[in-house]
Chains A and B, each alone.
Chain A
């Protein structure tokens, strides 16, 4: 049984049995839930299907969120990539398109898979579905990588938090980014250790990010933070796959993240009382939606 309170311990266990993280996590989780690996795998396969559908739904150019504040961005990004207008290559452009798409589906009260939360739901699917297209990675490998991502998320949830209301956006988009980074490393053939470094690097880049949604809605800045989050996941995975190590171990980064979250003012933890939410424009948008500012 794993306690999921240390990534280093998980990596050591994977190394000991000479297996990827996903395998040992799937096996342990099946045991813990008193079910079969096949059953868990099948359930995860369903999540991958919902993820795919949520990308598709979000590419609609005309769909707006219920508040009317957001919509159509994924389509714009997709067009830029299709017409070769984007400046950082196909993979980045595609990843950003998909991240925006899933986030928009969420804002429109569509069906998504929280990963780890709804606000950050675009990061992990876009990372995996993008790399799958460019490297021809099988669904099987993607589904397995979701177990690796889950393990990273569990450690973060156990030692810090995955709720914006408790830890700020570092807990949501930061956790999602770290999960995606580890998953990317695994599907690209990196070692468990590299997954750990990718996780550490991704989190370090996003430490301190506050949760300040305009009008309290999971739209501004959340949707674009998903695009940034997946870009960050690719950065971290790329560095780790090149053999670059995080000077601070992932487990310590997670503890740092917890302390930063605790130190954050409650105005910056999902209450819509600080940050972007209280900028003049943020307040104006809030008034537009609710008639008065909350």
Chain B
């Protein structure tokens, strides 16, 4: 559902809402999914992003987001210098991602311990984004509300386990999706919720042995 500030907004650093602000947001998402300070970033641009990223500063924007800057941060124009200072090793690649929206970026981040996170997102206009893929799982997250991303073993009863915790804590769900790689393999739940969510929910969910991790993605 669109809101007024999706149309009049964001307040942002130019020059392009699709190529700058949207790209910052995809970078921010990748950062929060990794959950730690990244030391390495590999970015694949597809479609219009691949053709024009240099001219629009999309490269600077994605890096700024990965560093945790917001869309109205005046340092976006010097984000690459800041990344170098902080020791973030980044590379770009022009790619042709099958079936992807014209403004798509796929970001792979690595932290100091070698953990990686892969996030594919599209900038769909006016600075709005959709995250289509997290670590090889297809998702659809627009970043407008807090979202839980929960990879778990594909065994019966897992939805109930998680939703019971949420019900206990009085958290209202307004979006839910589930995807798995193969039967009995890894499945990922993405749950969009109303209002704020706190860490006690996370801890309660993580008590189940079949749950691999539970990430809270704050609305951006």
Write the nearest CB–CB distance from A294 to chain B, whole angstroms.
6
Contact-residue size bin, chain A (C-beta under 8 Å from the other chain): 35 or more
- Judge if A55 is at the interface, Cβ distance under 8 Å: no
Q: In whole angstroms, what is the CA distance A77 to B189 when docked?
A: 55
Q: Which of B1, B21, B127 has the most CB of A within 10 A?
A: B1
Task: Say what secondary structure dominates the interface of chain B.
Answer: mixed
Write the nearest CB–CB distance from B172 to chain A, whole angstroms.
11
- Judge if B160 is at the interface, Cβ distance under 8 Å: no
**Cβ–Cβ < 8 Å partners of B12 in chain A:** 111-114, 118
Q: In whole angstroms, what is the CA distance A106 to B21 when docked?
A: 12
**Cβ–Cβ < 8 Å partners of B149 in chain A:** none
Write the nearest CB–CB distance from B155 to chain A, whole angstroms.
36
Inter-chain contact B125/A166, CB cutoff 8 Å? yes
Inter-chain contact A165/B3, CB cutoff 8 Å? no
Write the nearest CB–CB distance from B20 to chain A, whole angstroms.
7
Inter-chain contact A107/B15, CB cutoff 8 Å? yes
Write the nearest CB–CB distance from A286 to chain B, whole angstroms.
8
Nearest CB to that of B4 among chain A residues? A150
- Judge if A192 is at the interface, Cβ distance under 8 Å: no
| A85-93, A133-141, A228-236, A268-276 - the one binding chain B | A268-276
Inter-chain contact A271/B48, CB cutoff 8 Å? yes
Inter-chain contact A154/B4, CB cutoff 8 Å? yes
Contacts A118-B20, A119-B17 known; 4 new A-B pairs at CB < 8 A: A47-B11, A113-B9, A272-B51, A294-B55
Q: Which residues of A contact B (CB under 8 A)?
A: 4, 25, 29, 32-34, 40, 43-44, 46-47, 50, 65-67, 105-119, 121, 124, 146-147, 149-151, 153-154, 157-158, 161-166, 171, 179, 213, 215-219, 266, 269-273, 289-290, 294
What are 24 A-B pairs with beta-carbon distances under 8 A? A32-B1, A46-B11, A47-B8, A47-B11, A109-B15, A113-B8, A113-B12, A114-B9, A114-B21, A116-B17, A117-B17, A117-B125, A117-B127, A118-B17, A119-B17, A150-B8, A153-B7, A165-B103, A179-B7, A213-B52, A219-B15, A271-B52, A273-B51, A294-B54
